[in-house]
């Protein structure tokens, strides 16, 4: 694996990390929106400005991650000055092995974050079944449950299926 390839993977990993921050921010946006909807501020209450303000960071992080992802080659050329050393192999690992390792690592981080949070689902379900919550609070609880399960499934998929994911990405890029 060359320095250029390591730089390319690093830039792509950065894009994935920024995208995951955007997803977390989206969860916060929905949470704020559900809380604002539960407030009874009269028929003329307009909370759309709060929703737009909290949605802004999600849109910005997602846009930045997409730009970084698709311009990884250009960024790598800028970060790693292209000379003969940049193409020299520095490890015996191939691109697929390192990609698998990186995806597995991201999956492991997501699993480590989500497994403790899965135990928080039990009290949420008990609160939903207790009929003590208002409709907006029930919606918030459902969202919390879905978000935790999605994060767990994504982490498990990345951790266990990283080689398959790398194969799919290579086919999409045209590298076989």
Q: What DSSP line would sit under 2-29, residue for residue? A: BHHHHHHHHHHHHHHHHHHHHHHHHHHH
| Same domain flag for 87 and 103 | no
Give dist(CA 172, CA 176) in Å, integer. Answer: 9
Q: Report the pLDDT averaged over residues 118-139.
A: 74
Q: Report the pLDDT averaged over residues 141-163.
A: 80
Mean pLDDT of all residues belonging to the chain: 75
Of 5-14, 32-41, 89-98, where does the model show the most confidence?
5-14
**Boundary-marking domain end, from 92, 110, 144:** 92
| Same domain flag for 75 and 102 | no
The total number of structural domains that make up the chain = 2
Instruction: Check: CB of residue 19 under 8 Å from CB of residue 59.
Output: no
| Same domain flag for 139 and 105 | yes
User: Among residues 17, 12, 27, 30, which one has the least CA distance to residue 61?
Assistant: 17
> Can you give the residue range of the structural domain that contains 109?
93-176
pLDDT value at 70 more than 90:
yes
User: Among residues 59, 56, 38, 58, which one has the least CA distance to residue 47?
Assistant: 38
29-63 b/e with 16+ CB inside 10 Å = b?
A: bbebbbebeeeeeeeeeeeeeebeebbebbeebbe
Give dist(CA 46, CA 37) in Å, integer. Answer: 10
Count the neighbouring beta carbons within 10 Å of the beta carbon of residue 120: 11
| Same domain flag for 1 and 88 | yes
Q: Report the pLDDT averaged over residues 35-63.
A: 71
pTM of the full structure: 0.53
| Same domain flag for 83 and 107 | no
pLDDT value at 23 more than 80:
yes
């Amino acid at each position: 694996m060359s320095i250029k390839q390591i730089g390319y993977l690093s830039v792509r990993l950065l894009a994935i990390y920024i995208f995951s921050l955007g997803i977390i921010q989206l969860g916060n946006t929905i949470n704020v929106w559900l809380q604002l909807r539960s407030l009874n501020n009269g028929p003329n209450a307009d909370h759309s400005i709060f929703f737009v303000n909290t949605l802004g960071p999600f849109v910005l992080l997602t846009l930045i991650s997409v730009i970084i992802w698709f311009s990884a080659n250009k960024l790598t050329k800028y970060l790693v000055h292209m000379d003969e050393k940049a193409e020299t192999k520095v490890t015996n690992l191939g691109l697929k092995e390192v990609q698998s390792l990186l995806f597995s690592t991201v999956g492991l981080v997501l699993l480590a974050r989500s497994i403790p949070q899965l135990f928080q689902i039990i009290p949420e379900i008990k609160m939903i079944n207790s009929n003590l919550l208002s409709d907006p609070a029930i919606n918030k609880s459902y969202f919390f449950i879905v978000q935790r399960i999605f994060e767990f499934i994504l982490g498990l998929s990345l951790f266990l299926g990283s080689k398959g994911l790398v194969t799919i990405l290579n086919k999409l890029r045209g590298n076989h």
